[in-house]
Structure 1
Amino acid sequence: MASDDTGLFGPNSVTWKVHEEPVLLVAALRSLYLQALHPRTMAGVAQNSDYRRDAWGRLVRTATYVATTIYGTTAEAEAAGRRLRARHARLRAVDPATGEPFRIDDPDLLRWVHVTEVESFVGTARRAGLSLTDAEVDRYYTEQRRAAALVGLDPDTVPGTAAEVDDYYRRIRPELRMTREAAETALFLTAPPLPGNFSLPVRLGLTLGPPRWAYFGVAGTALGLLPGWARRLYGGLGLPTTALSAEVGLRALRLALAAVPQRYWEGPLQQAAKAHAARLASPPLPV
């Protein structure tokens, strides 16, 4: 990392503060459950993605993109955005309800994916116990307009405060519904094939063992953290105490992850960005 470039956000941003949290793995899963409720978004994924055959590869690629936009240099983040926009520009899908073709880079679809991601990230971090003021939450949403611009959105059309995110969800809810694709995707997200050979095979192709049960816990927490209206679209998942139970589990997971040395969960981009920021903050040696 050259000169004084600390990327699009930098160490003093709320974005760095939020994404320091390893518990955001739950947030990523929560955002996918939300995204599946938008029929066109789900159709676009289903018709253009091999996520069922390469679920973990897709996850790694997505995580790498997010890490690059947050911790990479400005040039690296912009290059990642250009590659993503070029890939999206080539893709088309067909609305299964109307038969109408549409572009994957339709701003309405990009905006839905962006909002569900950033709202899941900051909301999950806060519910896990990260201390964030209301002003910091608003600042996070405003900062993330830079990430929205990378995928091709006009930042002025993207919610930049918590109130604007709430208003956006109110306006888009009539477009959301449970479809067969959404149900199949939610089932896949809840019980995907696990990498490696560390599970016990049982009937129906599912595997059981400690990793599987741990993943079920993460998936159950992500579902429990969904807004009430989203859980209702999924068939009213959970009891009235579901959200509270999920939040308690989330806080316990955060405490457990805090005991794991950072080197095991920080990626190379994050490590390099933090080291570079620390060097810039250090006073120069006397001559």
Structure 2
Amino acid sequence: MARLRRGDVTPHEDYGFFGPGSVVWKVWSYPTAPTVGFQRAVVVEELDPPLVAAVHATQGIYRRARTRYDRTLRYFAMVAFAGTREVCKAADVLVKVHSKAIGELPYGGGTYDANDPASQLWIQLTGWHSILYAYEKYGPGKLTEQEETEYWEACALAAELQTCSPDDVPRSREGVRAYFAEMRPRLSASPIARQAMNHLLRTELVLPPTPWWAKPASLVVARAQRIATIATLPRWMRELAGIRQSRLLDTIVVPVMKTAFALAHLSPRLELLLIGRLSPSTVPVIAPMKLGVPPRTQEVLTPAEARARHGYSRPAEAHLDFRARQAARVFEDGKAPSDQGLIESQEILGPLG
């Protein structure tokens, strides 16, 4: 991976939905994104009762932690950097993947559905907010007012790749704060939420096997990322989830991580090497951007233009018959949902095992 050259990189079909010069490429290409930003997002997500119910039911984060991290990070990176055909295909198959995550809520009654627009909006906003938060705390700092406006407009555009409505995405920092304030009373650190959050903070579970002589350094890196991620969580959230960390550690970790990320960002090939250890399947997605390999067609499309060109439905309207059959299997027949979506997803999101 360290010897990856521009000639070894397969170019994307087009620049996707954002392209060079966009604030999305600026923020999401910084090494805080696939590390602290991404980890923060998946940890915070678990406080939403319907979402954590789906996560707990599938057990993916426990049975295949490294693979799950790899596939999910690949999808996040595809939305930011891949060509539109690839992204549309991934968003389409993800609807079928999520159709498996349906059932009865374990606490309080009711049902959950990973394709529910409210759950998808929660995922979208926790993800984009966490990536930006990590960039500001451990990266170059706050965006300009114009850049931040562009960032949240881009978040709304990317929401078109989910089952939620882009109209529900706030377009400002104040709007995002209002959304989280509205969500706070609905959040719950149930036993399965606490279990999932603490599990997802164990960075060592997603690192590849290392020789005995490298294990101490690997554990130090994992511990540093855990500390850095916890330091981004507000106190009320930590108390809710039973996560403890001293204010001293919160303070000390900032200059350490800012320096480490700044040094890593000096070399695109070093960044690709580090990404390859965390998420091997993400490397082909970001390598063209990191090494300056232009796409075959140098254009940026909107999701609507891409769906029309490549022949895909809006995610909210995709695979309705299949989703209905999945619901009937679970709620009427008492059977487990089909794995068809997971199986099909391997072609674009990577292997399950």
Fold-level similarity (TM above 0.5): yes
The equivalent residue for 1:85 is 95
Match of 1:158? 169
Once the 2 structures are TM-superposed, how far is the Cα of residue 49 of structure 1 from its aligned partner? 3.6
User: Which residue in 1 is equivalent to 2:268?
Assistant: 262
Tell me how far apart the structure 2 counterparts of residues 129 and 195 of structure 1 sit (CA, whole Å): 25
CA distance 1:102–1:183, change in 2 (3 Å)? closer
Task: Extract unaligned runs of 5+ from structure 2.
Answer: 1-10, 273-282, 300-353
Specify the alignment match of 1:33 in structure 2: 43
Cα distance, 1:106 vs structure 2 = 1.1
- Check conservation: 1:69, 1:76, Cα contact below 8 A: no
Partner of 1:271: 287
Give 1:116's aligned residue: 126
Q: 2 CA distance for matches of 1:178 and 1:87? A: 25
Distance 2:41 2:252 in 1: 19
Which stretch shows the higher mean deviation, 224-233 or 270-279?
270-279
Return 141-150 or 214-223, whichever deviates more: 141-150
In structure 2, the CA distance between the partners of 1:48 and 1:115, relative to structure 1 (3 Å rule), is: same
Q: Residue 181 of structure 1: CA displacement? A: 1.1
Cα distance, 1:271 vs structure 2: 2.7
Question: Against the structure 1 CA distance between its residues 246 and 169, is the aligned structure 2 distance closer, same or farther, given a 3 Å change threshold?
Answer: farther
Give 3-state SS (helix, strand or coil) of 1:93's partner: strand
List per-residue Cα deviations over 1:164-211 (Å, max 9, x = no partner): 1100010000011221112212221233535314359xxxxxxx6221
Is the Cα contact below 8 Å between 1:70 and 1:77 reproduced in 2?
A: no
Q: Does 1:198 align with 2:211?
A: yes
Q: How big is the alpha-carbon RMSD for the aligned residues of Structure 1 and Structure 2? A: 2.6
Give the TM-score, by structure 1 length: 0.85
Tell whether the 8 Å contact from 1:14 to 1:140 is kept in structure 2 after alignment. yes
Distance in 2 separating the partners of 1:57 and 1:103: 22
Partner of 2:310: none
Alignment partner of 2:28 out of 16, 19, 41? 19
Q: What pairs up with 1:1-287 in 2 under 5 angstroms?
A: 5-24=14-33, 25-131=35-141, 132-191=143-202, 192-193=204-205, 194-198=207-211, 209-235=216-242, 237-240=244-247, 243-259=250-266, 261-266=267-272, 267-273=283-289, 274-276=292-294
Write out per-residue CA displacement over residues 93-149 of structure 1, whole angstroms, 9 at most, x where no aligned residue: 321112322211111111111111100101111122325213312311210222211
The separation in 1 between residues aligned to 2:247 and 2:209, in whole angstroms, is 37
Residues 265, 271 of structure 2: 8 Å contact kept: no
Runs of 4 or more consecutive aligned structure 1 residues displaced over 4 Å after TM superposition = 240-243, 277-281
Number of equivalences: 273
CA contact (8 A) 1:94 1:102 kept: yes
* 8 A contact 2:45–2:52 mirrored in 1: yes
Question: Matches of 2:115 and 2:212 in 1, distance apart?
Answer: 39
Instruction: Give unpaired runs (5+ residues) of structure 1.
Output: 201-207, 282-287
